[in-house]
C-alpha cells in the first residue's frame, strides 16, 4: 500500500509471520484515517457512496457522526432500514449482549448441519416474537435477494406439484408476475424481476421473460389531477394483470424499490378477485410464450404496444385504455 495514502502497513517479515500465526492481526495492521477512506476504497472497488465517513463509536441514536468532516448528521436514511434501532442503542451495548454477539461472530458453523444453543435460542426468540400461527415454519437466508429467491422457489415447487396433482404430466407454473421499476435484488431469479431506472444494473445478464405490468405508483403531493391519473394507471395495470393471470397464475406480491414506490392500497392496486383462480386449465404456454409486438392479446382487446409500456424510468405517465 502506498505511503502517500497515509495507510500504515508494517509488511515486514515479522508481521507476515504474525499474520500467518494470527490472521486477525491483519485487520489492525492497516490504518486508514477518515480523510483517506474514499481514496483507499476507490483503488479497489466502486466507491460512489455518500461522501461522509461514518464513525461507529461517536454516532448515537438518530445522529450519525461524520468523522471526515467532524460533524453530526441527522439520519433520515437508516441504511435502507438495516439499522432500525439507530446507532449505539443502549440495549445492544450491555456487556452481556456484546459478549454474546462476539461469541456468535467469532464462529461460523454450518447451521444446516451443526446446531448450537445459541441457534436454538435465536430461533425460539424469533418464533415467539415474529412468527404467525398460520406460517409455522422458517427458512433462514441472509439478505433480501435470497429471501425473494427462496420464496419464488417455494412458490414454483407448490405450483408445479399442484398441477401434477391436477393431471399434468409436464411441469407447469414457471411464471412470476411483477411490476415495472421493481427492485428485488440482483441474483439468479431476482434479476428477472429487478428492472429499475438504471438498466446497466441488469442489462446483459440472463433473465426469464416473465410478465411485467405497469406500476401504478402514487406521485406526491396527491392532488385531484394526480389521483385521477393514478386511478387510470391502476385500471391499466389491473387489465395487464388479468391478461397475465389468465395465462400464468403466479404472483410476486412484494414490490417497493427501497420503499419508494407506494400504491394507493399499499404495495399493490386492488387485484382482480379471481386472480388466483387461473388454475392449470388456464395455464397456457411456457416461459417464452408471448404474442408478437403490436398484435392484440386474445380476450382483453388491449393492444400489446400499450400493455408493454417503455420501461425508461419511474415517472412514466400512462393513459388508461
Ligand atoms: C423488495 C426488495 N427485495 C429485495 C431486495 C434486495 O435485498 P438485498 O440487497 O439484501 O439482497 C431489496 C433491497 O432493497 C428490496 O427492497
Read off the C-alpha cell for 150.
Answer: 427462496
- 223 CA distance to ligand 1 middle (Å): 30
Q: Check whether residue 175 and residue 298 sit in a common domain.
A: yes
Q: How far apart are CA 243 and CA 282, in angstroms?
A: 11
Do the domain assignments include residue 22? no
Beta strands per DSSP E along 78-202: 178-179
Q: What percent of the chain is helix, strand and coil (3-state, nearest 5)? A: 40, 5, 55
| Angle (nearest 5°) at CA 235 between 179 and 222 | 80
Q: Check whether residue 65 and residue 193 sit in a common domain.
A: no
pLDDT greater than 90 at residue 253: no
pLDDT greater than 90 at residue 26: no
Do the domain assignments include residue 181? yes
Do the domain assignments include residue 139? no
Q: Please tell me the predicted confidence (pLDDT) of residue 205.
A: 93
Measured from the Cα of 182, ligand 1's closest atom is: 1
Read off the C-alpha cell for 219.
Answer: 406521485
Q: Which domain holds residue 56?
A: 31-81
How sure is the predictor about 271, in pLDDT bands with cuts at 50, 70 and 90? low
How high does pLDDT run on average in the chain? 78
pLDDT greater than 50 at residue 145: yes
- 212 CA distance to ligand 1 middle (Å): 18
Measured in residues, the chain has a length of: 321
Do the domain assignments include residue 133? no
Q: Please tell me the predicted confidence (pLDDT) of residue 269.
A: 54
Measured from the Cα of 255, ligand 1's closest atom is: 1
How sure is the predictor about 184, in pLDDT bands with cuts at 50, 70 and 90? very high
* Residues 84 and 78: beta-carbon distance below 8 Å: yes
Omega of the bond prior to 46 within 30 degrees of 0, cis?
no
Do the domain assignments include residue 317? no
Q: Please tell me the predicted confidence (pLDDT) of residue 249.
A: 53
Distances (CA, A) of 121 to 9, 124, 125, 244: 41, 5, 6, 44
Q: Please tell me the predicted confidence (pLDDT) of residue 81.
A: 86
What is the share, in percent, of the chain residues with pLDDT greater than 90? 60
Measured from the Cα of 257, ligand 1's closest atom is: 16
Domain boundary among 60, 81, 102: 81
Q: Check whether residue 151 and residue 63 sit in a common domain.
A: no
Q: Taking Cα atoms as reference points, which of 198, 177, 184 lies closest to residue 257?
A: 184
Do the domain assignments include residue 98? no
Please tell me the residue having the least CA distance from ligand 1 atom 16: 258
Among the ranges given (183-192, 217-226, 265-274, 292-301), the one the predictor scored with the smallest mean pLDDT: 292-301
Hey, which of 83, 146, 184 would you mutate to test ligand 1's pocket, going by the most ligand atoms within 8 Å of its Cβ?
Answer: 184
Q: Please tell me the predicted confidence (pLDDT) of residue 301.
A: 31
| pTM: predicted TM-score of the whole model, two decimal places | 0.69
pLDDT greater than 50 at residue 7: no
Burial class of residue 190, CB neighbours in 10 A (0-12, 13-18, 19+) = buried
Helix ranges (H only) for 209-285 are 224-247
Q: What is the mean pLDDT of residues 301-310?
A: 33
Q: Check whether residue 154 and residue 297 sit in a common domain.
A: yes
Q: How far apart are CA 50 and CA 70, in angstroms?
A: 15
Q: Check whether residue 157 and residue 46 sit in a common domain.
A: no
Please tell me the residue having the least CA distance from ligand 1 atom 7: 144
- 144 CA distance to ligand 1 middle (Å): 4
Q: Check whether residue 181 and residue 256 sit in a common domain.
A: yes
Q: Taking Cα atoms as reference points, which of 157, 181, 134 lies closest to residue 250?
A: 157
Measured from the Cα of 144, ligand 1's closest atom is: 7
Q: Check whether residue 271 and residue 151 sit in a common domain.
A: yes
Q: Please tell me the predicted confidence (pLDDT) of residue 228.
A: 97
Do the domain assignments include residue 198? yes
At 247, give phi and psi (nearest 5°).
-100, -35
Q: Please tell me the predicted confidence (pLDDT) of residue 19.
A: 61
* Residues 238 and 273: beta-carbon distance below 8 Å: no
Hey, which of 185, 252, 261, 263 would you mutate to test ligand 1's pocket, going by the most ligand atoms within 8 Å of its Cβ?
Answer: 185
Q: Check whether residue 161 and residue 254 sit in a common domain.
A: yes
Q: Check whether residue 242 and residue 163 sit in a common domain.
A: yes
Structurally, the chain folds into a number of domains equal to 2
Q: Please tell me the predicted confidence (pLDDT) of residue 201.
A: 86
Residues whose beta carbon lies within 6 Å of some atom of ligand 1: 80, 143-145, 148, 183-185, 254, 256, 258
Q: Which residues pair with 31 in a beta bridge?
A: 8
Q: Check whether residue 148 and residue 231 sit in a common domain.
A: yes
For residue 5, give the DSSP letter: G
How sure is the predictor about 315, in pLDDT bands with cuts at 50, 70 and 90? very low
* pLDDT tens per residue across span 29-49: 899 999 999 999 999 999 999
Do the domain assignments include residue 52? yes
Q: Check whether residue 67 and residue 158 sit in a common domain.
A: no
Q: Please tell me the predicted confidence (pLDDT) of residue 298.
A: 28
Q: Check whether residue 73 and residue 153 sit in a common domain.
A: no
- Tell me, what CATH number does 223's domain have? 3.40.640.10
Amino acid at each position: 500500500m502506498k505511503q502517500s495514502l497515509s495507510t500504515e502497513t508494517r509488511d515486514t517479515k515479522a508481521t507476515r509471520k504474525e499474520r500467518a500465526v494470527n490472521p486477525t492481526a491483519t485487520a489492525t495492521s492497516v490504518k486508514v484515517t477518515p480523510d483517506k477512506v474514499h481514496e483507499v476504497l476507490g483503488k479497489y472497488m466502486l466507491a460512489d457512496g455518500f461522501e461522509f465517513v461514518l464513525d461507529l463509536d461517536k454516532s448515537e441514536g438518530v445522529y450519525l457522526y461524520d468523522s471526515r468532516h467532524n460533524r453530526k448528521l441527522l439520519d433520515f436514511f437508516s441504511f435502507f432500514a438495516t439499522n432500525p434501532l439507530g446507532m449505539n442503542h443502549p440495549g445492544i451495548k450491555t456487556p452481556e449482549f456484546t459478549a454474546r454477539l462476539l461469541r456468535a461472530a467469532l464462529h461460523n458453523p454450518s447451521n444446516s448441519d451443526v446446531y448450537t444453543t445459541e441457534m436454538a435460542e435465536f430461533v425460539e426468540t424469533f418464533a415467539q416474537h415474529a412468527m404467525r400461527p398460520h406460517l409455522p415454519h422458517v427458512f433462514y437466508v441472509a439478505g433480501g435477494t435470497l429471501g425473494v429467491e427462496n420464496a419464488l422457489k417455494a412458490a414454483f415447487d407448490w405450483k408445479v406439484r399442484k398441477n401434477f396433482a391436477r393431471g399434468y404430466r409436464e411441469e407447469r407454473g414457471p411464471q412470476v408476475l411483477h411490476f415495472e421499476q421493481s427492485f428485488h435484488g440482483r441474483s439468479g431469479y431476482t434479476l428477472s424481476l429487478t428492472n429499475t431506472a438504471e438498466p446497466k444494473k441488469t442489462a446483459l445478464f440472463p433473465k426469464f421473460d416473465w410478465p411485467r405490468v405497469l406500476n401504478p405508483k402514487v406521485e406526491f403531493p396527491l392532488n385531484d389531477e394526480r389521483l385521477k391519473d393514478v386511478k387510470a394507471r391502476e385500471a391499466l395495470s389491473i387489465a395487464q394483470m388479468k391478461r397475465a393471470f389468465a395465462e400464468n397464475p403466479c404472483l410476486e406480491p412484494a414490490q417497493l424499490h427501497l420503499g419508494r414506490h407506494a400504491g394507493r392500497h399499499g404495495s399493490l392496486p386492488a387485484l382482480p378477485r379471481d386472480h388466483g383462480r387461473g388454475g392449470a386449465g388456464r395455464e397456457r404456454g411456457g416461459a417464452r410464450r408471448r404474442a408478437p409486438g403490436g398484435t392484440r392479446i386474445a380476450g382483453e382487446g388491449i393492444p400489446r404496444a400499450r400493455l408493454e409500456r417503455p420501461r425508461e424510468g419511474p415517472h412514466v405517465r400512462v393513459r388508461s385504455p
